[in-house]
Amino acid sequence: DTEVTQTPKHLVMGMTNKKSLKCEQHMGHRAMYWYKQKAKKPPELMFVYSYEKLSINESVPSRFSPECPNSSLLNLHLHALQPEDSALYLCASSHPAGTRPYNEQFFGPGTRLTVL
Amino acid sequence: SQQGEEDPQALSIQEGENATMNCSYKTSINNLQWYRQNSGRGLVHLILIRSNEREKHSGRLRVTLDTSKKSSSLLITASRAADTASYFCATVAGANNLFFGTGTRLTVIP
* pLDDT tens track for A77-111: 999 999 999 999 999 999 887 777 667 899 999 99
Measure the CA–CA gap between B86 and B43, rounded to whole angstroms: 9
- Cβ contact A107–B44 (<8 Å): yes
CB-based contact, B106 to chain A, within 8 Å: no
Task: List, for residues B55-84, the tens digit of each pLDDT value.
Answer: 999 999 999 999 999 999 999 999 999 999
* Confidence band, pLDDT 50/70/90 cuts, at residue A1: low
Confidence of residue B93 (pLDDT cuts 50, 70, 90): confident
- A106 touching B, CB under 8 A? yes
Q: Check A105 against B99: CB less than 8 A apart.
A: no
Contact criterion met (CB < 8 Å) for B96 and A55: no
**Nearest CB to B103 within list A42, A97, A103:** A42
Instruction: Tell me the average pLDDT across A24-51.
Output: 93
Contacts of A107 in chain B (CB under 8 A): 35, 42-44
Closest Cα in chain A, distance from residue B96 (Å): 5
First to last CA, chain A: 36
C-beta atoms of A90 and B88 within 8 A = no
Interface test with A, best of B35, B43, B47 (most A CBs within 10 A): B43
Question: What mean pLDDT, rounded, does chain A reach?
Answer: 92
Residues B56, B47 contacting (CB under 8 angstroms): yes
Q: Are A116 and A13 in contact (CB under 8 A)?
A: yes
**What pLDDT, on a 0 to 100 scale, did the predictor assign at position A83?**
95
Task: Give every strand in the sheet of A4-7, ordered side by side.
Answer: A4-7, A18-25, A73-79, A64-70
Query: How many alpha carbons lie under 13 Å from residue B3 in its C-beta half-sphere?
Result: 12
How far, in whole angstroms, is CA B10 from its chain's centroid?
13
pLDDT at B95: 72
Please compute Rg for chain B using Cα positions. Answer: 13
Say whether pLDDT at A9 is over 60.
yes
**pLDDT surpasses 70 at A113:** yes
pLDDT grade for A58, boundaries at 50, 70 and 90: confident
pLDDT, mean of residues B52-57: 96
> Chain A within 8 Å of B45 (Cβ-Cβ)?
yes
B99 touches chain A (CB under 8 A): yes
Residue B1 has pLDDT above 60, yes or no: no
Task: Identify from B65, B97, B99, B107 which residue to disrupt to test chain A contact, counting A C-beta atoms within 10 A and taking the largest count.
Answer: B97
In Å, how far is A107's CA from the nearest CA of chain B? 6
- Does the pLDDT at position B110 exceed 80? yes
Report whether pLDDT(A59) > 90: no
The three-state DSSP-derived secondary structure of A51-114 is: CCEEEEECCCCCCEEEEEEECCEEEEEEECCCHHHCEEEEEEEECCCCCCCCCCCEECCCEEEE
